């Protein structure tokens, strides 16, 4: 167990940064897939949607893998409890992500309408399901999960599907829909872009409404999350989220696609930061009489946290530089060719 409070807080923050990176980047991947059967209406438009994320989707998912690895190394007890208690849900997410990846690779291999429609549906389902289930997992963390005296999961899969958790799942899906539509504003043109613009506005309204609903509901369902908001600095994150969500439709209507995507990303980051402020120092709160898994109780040794922090500080700039370079290389609207999906 670590004794250094700075190292504990640093790794709580870094795990949060990795989750923010995943939500922003793979969030638009999933959001694009959620629009595959609606915003895109023709075979060519669906190919454009797939190719808008084609060069980057697999790299975006690495952020989730890295977050899981960081959780395993920095807070192993939390990793063990989450991955055992949420096992079925995580397997569903994994199956959906695999189905989604296969759809990208197989969809355009044959020209038959039935073949392509089948993989279109698979791509859509493989995008919607993770978007909702990620939110359901967060909703359970917000309200607390059933843990025994040793901090082990003591509930069932059905027990995870509470009305509050499902509401957070819908919020997650709406947030990713907004993010995906904002991405499409950068990658499409003409009628397809116009439909993406309408979808972006729908996603923003749904995100704002559901966030208000979930926030209000959390006063009764997860009152402990509000303890830290007695301090004025804690309100900075939710204020940024509100400002970003309000600015988003203005930027979309003015055709400022890059700024709209930045606003959507800022809103996602600020909402996750708001959750992190409310949770601290808990990583996995217990519901009822269980033992909560907190940062001080579950952190690895100081030596392990120090070694990982050095590696992270040395490696992260390279990851960010590489990510920036890749997105710069593939910037601009999609142009289909013989190498496209």
pLDDT (0 to 100) of residue 2: 59
DSSP state of 155: -
Q: Two tokens at 3?
A: 């004794």
Q: Which of 134, 127, 136 is nearest to 31 (CA)?
A: 127
CB atoms within 10 A of CB 94: 11
Query: Over its length of 341 residues, how does the chain's per-residue pLDDT go in tens digits?
Result: 556 889 999 999 999 999 999 999 999 999 999 999 999 999 999 999 999 998 898 888 889 889 999 999 999 999 998 888 888 888 998 999 999 999 988 988 888 889 999 999 999 999 999 999 999 999 999 988 888 877 788 878 888 889 999 999 999 999 999 999 999 999 999 999 999 999 999 999 999 999 999 999 999 988 989 988 888 888 999 999 999 999 999 999 999 999 999 999 999 999 999 999 999 999 999 887 778 899 999 999 999 999 999 999 998 898 889 889 989 998 889 888 777 77
Angle between helices 57-74 and 87-106 (to 10 degrees): 160
DSSP state of 181: H
8 Å CB contact between 176 and 133 = no
Please state the φ and ψ torsions of residue 256, each to the nearest 5 degrees. Answer: -90, 80
Please state the φ and ψ torsions of residue 283, each to the nearest 5 degrees. Answer: -105, -35
d(CA 79, CA 102): 28
H/E element, 293: strand 293-294
8 Å CB contact between 284 and 148 = no
d(CA 31, CA 182): 9
Helix/strand/coil percentages in the chain, nearest 5: 80, 5, 20
Q: Within 13 Å, how many C-alpha atoms sit on residue 137's CB side?
A: 19
pLDDT (0 to 100) of residue 109: 86
d(CA 270, CA 264): 10
- With a CB cutoff of 8 Å and minimum separation 6, the contacts of 171 are 135, 207, 210, 211, 213, 214
Q: Two tokens at 44?
A: 């060519």
Please give the full DSSP string across 211-245, using - where no structure is assigned.
HHHHHHHHHHH-GGGGGGGGSGGGGHHHHHHHHHH
pLDDT (0 to 100) of residue 1: 56
Q: Two tokens at 190?
A: 């003409």
Domains of the chain with bracketed CATH = 5-283+292-329 (1.20.1630)
Give the global pTM. 0.93
Q: How far is CA 210 from CA 33, 56, 292, in A?
A: 21, 29, 27
Sign of CA dihedral 51, 53, 56, 59: negative
């Amino acid at each position: 167990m670590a004794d250094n409070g700075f190292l504990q807080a640093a790794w709580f923050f870094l795990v949060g940064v990795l989750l923010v990176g995943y939500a922003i980047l793979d969030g638009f991947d999933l959001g694009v897939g959620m629009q595959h059967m609606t915003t895109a209406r023709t075979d060519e438009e669906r190919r454009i949607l797939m190719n808008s994320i084609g060069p980057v989707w697999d790299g975006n998912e690495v952020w989730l893998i890295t977050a899981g690895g960081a959780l395993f190394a920095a807070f192993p007890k939390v990793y063990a409890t989450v991955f055992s208690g949420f096992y079925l849900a995580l397997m569903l997410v994994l199956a959906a992500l695999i189905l989604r990846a296969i759809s990208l690779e197989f969809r355009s291999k044959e020209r038959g309408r039935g073949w392509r429609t089948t993989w279109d549906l698979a791509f859509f389902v493989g995008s919607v399901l993770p978007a909702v289930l990620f939110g359901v997992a967060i909703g359970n963390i917000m309200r607390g999960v059933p843990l025994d005296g040793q901090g082990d999961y003591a509930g069932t899969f059905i027990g995870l599907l509470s009305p509050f958790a499902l509401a957070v799942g819908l919020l997650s899906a709406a947030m990713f829909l907004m993010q995906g539509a904002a991405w499409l504003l950068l990658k499409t043109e003409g009628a397809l872009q116009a439909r993406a613009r309408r979808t972006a506005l729908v996603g923003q309204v749904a995100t704002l409404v559901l966030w208000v609903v979930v926030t209000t509901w959390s006063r009764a369902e997860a009152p402990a999350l509000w303890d830290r908001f007695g301090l004025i600095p804690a309100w900075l994150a939710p204020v940024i989220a509100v400002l970003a969500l309000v600015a988003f439709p203005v930027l979309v209507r003015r055709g400022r696609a890059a700024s709209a995507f930045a606003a959507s990303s800022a809103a996602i980051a600020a909402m996750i930061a708001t959750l992190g402020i409310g949770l601290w120092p808990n990583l996995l709160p217990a519901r009822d009489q269980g033992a909560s898994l907190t940062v001080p109780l579950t952190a690895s040794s100081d030596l392990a946290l120090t070694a990982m922090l050095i590696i992270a500080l040395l490696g992260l700039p390279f990851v960010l530089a590489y990510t920036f370079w890749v997105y710069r290389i593939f910037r601009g609207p999609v142009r289909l060719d013989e190498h496209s999906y």
